[in-house]
Amino acid sequence: MLHRLMNNATPAHAHCDLYCGVYDPAQAKIEALSCLKTIQKYHDSDDDHFKARAIIIKERQAEEVKHHLMVLWADFFTKDHFEQFPNLHQLFWDGVHGAGDVKKSLDAAVAEKLLKTIDEISDIFWQTDKGKQMGVYPPA
């Protein structure tokens, strides 16, 4: 019986679910910057095949932004952080939905807005003691 239930199960993928202690908004920023650069390259090209590939890549990278933001929201930040930084939920909402907007757009301004939101999340991340302990790429 259990075998029949598990046989049709869909695999789930996560950051690690060990709470490994490796967190950094830089992951989301790199993917968002990739979206911006891909949009710019799209507009600079006259090759239809390149443009089609650019759209596919941009959409995949934007989905990665959503993933990395959700990992930070769900696994890194705590209730205390959300109380200390009352706009944090809104920033994550804006970031996840902003990544969705990037998937639907070829406007560089949309990607730039997403980058600004990620920078705001990053600023809060690095203000936390936990961020200073677990972050990998502190701001210069």
CATH number for the domain whose boundaries are 23-133: 1.20.120.400
Which of 62, 65, 63, 58 shows the shortest CA–CA distance to 40?
58
pLDDT exceeds 90 at position 90 = yes
- Mean pLDDT value across residues 49-61: 98
Kindly list the domain boundaries of the chain, sorted by start residue. 23-133
Which pLDDT does position 22 carry in this prediction? 83
pLDDT of amino acid 15: 55
pTM of the full predicted structure?
A: 0.86
The arithmetic mean of pLDDT across residues 77-89, rounded, is 97
Q: What is the pLDDT of residue 41?
A: 99
Average pLDDT score over the chain: 91
Structure tokens at 33: 């910057």
pLDDT over 70, % of the chain: 86
Neighbours of 49 (CB within 10 A): 8
* DSSP line for 41-84: HHHH---HHHHHHHHHHHHHHHHHHHHHHHHIIIII--HHHHHH
* pLDDT, position 12: 44
Q: What is the mean pLDDT of residues 22-49?
A: 97
Q: Which amino acid is at 4?
A: R
- 3-17 pLDDT tens trace: 565 566 555 444 566
